[in-house]
Amino acid sequence: MDDFITVSLALAAGSLRLAIPLMLGALGGLFSERAGIVDVGIEGKMLISAFASAAVAHATNSPWAGLAAGLGAGIVFALIHGVGAIAFRGNQVVSGMALNILAAGLTVTIAAALYSQGGRTPQLPDAARFRGTSFAAADGTSQLDPALRALFELVAGHNILVYLSLVLVPALVWLVHKTRFGLRLRAVGENPEAVDTAGIQVATLRYQASIISGLLCGLAGTYIAIAQSASFVPNMTAGKGYLALAALIFGKWRIWPTFFACLLFAFADAAQSRLQGLNIPGIGAIPVQFIQALPYVLTLVLLAGLVGRAIPPKASGVPYVKER
């Protein structure tokens, strides 16, 4: 029984760690899409930030400088997307895909030229990373009861970015639902004409939303590179940006449901290694790939309207042209 509790707590902690980048990416996408800009470029923004944060953390030996670089890179990519979508009224899906591909190529090109390690950045020392607290002694043993230790690690063992992200969720709910900015943001994604008629600049609002989106995706990328790992590795976001997009849709473009969708997807991810080789009577072993595919299947089922219905913001993807 004690063992079961320990495993469950460890699983919960693992799910939380995996959910953070998904959640940040999905919230980044949420800000963009609620403002009326389709965001399939979450992956690219996360990837470029992951590289920028790892490279700067390596150069300065400071995780905070890495964080600043990651956020900056996220904003730059978000603004390229924003300028394409808002000022030049380009195809937003094309733009997002372009950023994803550009990020994949650019990061490895620069890393290969700078470090000659096959597109990786050098391994970061602990001082250059955001690290959690371990409740074990240096030799791996612990005075604590295993279950108690697992509990401590779930509650207090994470790195600072995890707690920052968890505080961000209610803060962003407040921003979107309780402030004037949030009201305008939601309005501009549904009916930009009305917002414009009220004398509010549609373009400005959408640029602001893009920047917030860049910040959140930048935080996600930074987390992946210098908190979860200790270096940049080619394509290290490995589809998490797309998974975040799926979570955003699964959460029907609302913050709390999206947050829980991320927890669910992350739980599936964390559990898959434990479910590997597990035999279910009558069915047999579950292939790992099935569990990996589960979030996408769930999202497709939801999109098909078989369970509930996912309706995107009305003006999402439509460039706004002011009437003259």
Partner 1 sequence: MSRNQSLPWWVEIGVLPVINLAAAFIVSGLVMAALGHDPFEALGLMVTGAFGSADSLGYTLYYTTNFIFTGLAVALASHAGLFNIGAEGQAMLGGLGAALVGLVISPGLPGIIAIPLAILAAMIFGGIWGAIPGWLQAYRGSHVVITTIMMNFLAGALLTYLLVDVLIAPGGGTPESRSISENVWLPAAHQIAQSLGLELAQTPLNLSLLLGLFCALGLNIFLWRTRWGFSLRAVGLNPHAALYAGISPSRMTVLAMALSGALAGLVGANEILGAQHRLVLGFTGGYGFVGIAVALMGRNRPTGVIIASLLFGALYQGGSELALDMPGISRDLVVMIQGLIILFCGALENIFRSPLARLFAAARSTRAELTGTAGG
Residue numbers at the binding site for partner 1 (CB under 8 A): 38, 40, 80-81, 83-85, 88-95, 97-106, 108-110, 112-114, 116, 118-119, 234, 239, 242, 245-246, 249, 287, 289-290, 292-293, 296-297, 299-300, 303-305, 310, 312, 321
Q: Which of helix, strand or coil describes residue 313?
A: coil
Q: What angle do CA 247, 252, 253 make, to 5 degrees?
A: 85
**Which of 10/262 has CB closer to partner 1?**
262
| Burial grade of 128 (CB within 10 A; 0-12, 13-18, 19 or more) | buried
**Which of 146/312 has CB closer to partner 1?**
312
Smallest gap from residue 149 Cβ to partner 1 (A): 35
**Which of 173/294 has CB closer to partner 1?**
294
From 77, 42, 316, select the one nearest 191 (Cα to Cα): 316
Smallest gap from residue 51 Cβ to partner 1 (A): 12
**Which of 83/160 has CB closer to partner 1?**
83
What are the C-alpha distances in Å from 268 to residues 18, 141, 238?
Answer: 10, 29, 16
Asked whether 200 and 184 are in contact (CB, 8 A), the reply is yes
Smallest gap from residue 267 Cβ to partner 1 (A): 18
What are the C-alpha distances in Å from 30 to residues 3, 14, 61, 171, 265?
Answer: 39, 24, 33, 14, 17
Asked whether 159 and 227 are in contact (CB, 8 A), the reply is yes
Strands 284-285 and 279-280, how do they pair?
antiparallel
Q: Write out the two tokens for 140.
A: 């791996």
**Which of 104/175 has CB closer to partner 1?**
104
Q: H or E segment at 285?
A: strand 284-285
Smallest gap from residue 167 Cβ to partner 1 (A): 30
**Which of 29/63 has CB closer to partner 1?**
29
Smallest gap from residue 291 Cβ to partner 1 (A): 9
Q: What angle do CA 316, 319, 322 make, to 5 degrees?
A: 125
Smallest gap from residue 37 Cβ to partner 1 (A): 11
Smallest gap from residue 127 Cβ to partner 1 (A): 28
**Which of 110/136 has CB closer to partner 1?**
110
Helices and strands in the chain, H and E counts: 12, 2
288: CB partners within 8 A, 6+ apart: 272, 275, 276
Q: Distance between CA 46 and CA 133 in Å, rounded?
A: 25
**Which of 30/147 has CB closer to partner 1?**
30
Smallest gap from residue 111 Cβ to partner 1 (A): 8
Smallest gap from residue 2 Cβ to partner 1 (A): 35
Q: Distance between CA 58 and CA 44 in Å, rounded?
A: 21
**Which of 155/293 has CB closer to partner 1?**
293
